[in-house]
């Protein structure tokens, strides 16, 4: 079976440094395959093994039900949270080239 997708997604999530965040859609683009929903599905399944709280929705708000946990962890890491939502423009993480799957430098 092809769990390559899952591997790539988890790998990227693990690569997100403290104090930074990324979105489902961005991860989907980085992997270059599937879509935001698919990324969410992966995290729903294997999220426990990675810093899932650094992955939030495109509107700067964590997924439903994770708000409390995610926001408190993000705040701990120094992520600027404003009224329950993260300022993506300031902390949106960009992966290092070598973290990407099949993209040459």
Partner DNA sequence: TCCGTGACTTTAT
Partner DNA sequence: CATAAAGCCACGG
At a CB cut-off of 8 Å and minimum separation 6, what does 46 contact?
6, 10
Structure tokens at 13: 């999530």
Residue span binding DNA (CB under 7 A) among the ranges 39-47, 71-79, 92-100: 39-47
At a CB cut-off of 8 Å and minimum separation 6, what does 33 contact?
5
Binding mask 41-80 for DNA (x = CB under 7 A): x-xx--xx---xx-x-xxx---xxxx--------------
Q: Least distance from C-beta 47 to DNA, angstroms?
A: 3
CB 68 within 8 A of CB 59: no
Where on the chain is the footprint of DNA (CB under 7 A)? Answer: 2, 23-25, 33-41, 43-44, 47-48, 52-53, 55, 57-59, 63-66
């Amino acid at each position: 079976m092809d769990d390559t997708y899952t591997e790539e997604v988890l790998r990227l999530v693990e690569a997100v440094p403290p104090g930074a965040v990324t979105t489902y859609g961005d991860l989907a683009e980085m992997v270059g395959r599937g879509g935001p929903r698919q990324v969410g599905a992966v995290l729903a399944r294997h999220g426990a093994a990675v810093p899932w709280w650094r992955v939030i929705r495109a509107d700067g708000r964590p997924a439903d039900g994770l708000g409390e946990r995610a926001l408190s962890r993000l705040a701990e890491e120094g992520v600027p949270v404003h009224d329950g939502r993260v300022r993506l423009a300031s902390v949106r993480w960009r992966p290092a080239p070598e973290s990407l799957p099949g993209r040459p430098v």
